Amino acid sequence: QVQLVQSGAEVKKPGASVKVSCEASGYTFTNSYIHWVRQAPGHGLEWMGIIDPSGRGTTNAQKFQGRVAVTRDTSTSTVYMELSSLRSEDTAVYYCARAAAYSSMTFDYWGQGTLVTVSP
């Protein structure tokens, strides 16, 4: 079965960087895009970016341009999201989500989420 397993919770200081991993299994890794979405405490969902694991590139939301880097390692079927210059407003649960094969603009499987806390 399809699974996306994310790395554990992180606590970072303002100005630092964080790198969250998302290991995929149960399907052909290079066949489906992976998205990153975050959810600040008590708030809604916010789309951050997308990567094509086959190597055809990434696209990020303008809000995160210059601060986010999404990469992948095909040998381990893992996608990484690194967010730099962290500030308190970046405290959130970060999710990876797979684009559905039957509808590429739909997120059909989600990771369990990774809580990133930014605190002095």
Q: Which is nearer to another protein, 62 or 75 (CB)?
A: 62
Sheet holding 3-6, edge to edge: 3-6, 18-25, 78-83, 68-73
Q: Tell which one of 61, 74, 88, 119 touches another protein (CB under 8 A).
A: 61
Q: Smallest distance, Å, CB 46 to another protein?
A: 7
Q: Tell which one of 17, 25, 31, 59 touches another protein (CB under 8 A).
A: 59
Q: List the interface residues with another protein, window 89-108 (CB under 8 A).
A: 95, 97, 100, 102-103, 105-108
Q: Which is nearer to another protein, 47 or 80 (CB)?
A: 47
Applying CB under 8 A, does 22 fall inside the site for another protein? no
d(CA 54, CA 72): 9
Instruction: Candidates 15-23, 61-69, 73-81, 82-90: pick the segment binding another protein (CB under 8 A).
Output: 61-69
d(CA 104, CA 116): 27
d(CA 113, CA 90): 14
Binding site for another protein (CB under 8 A): 35, 37, 44-47, 50, 59, 61-63, 95, 97, 100, 102-103, 105-108, 110-113
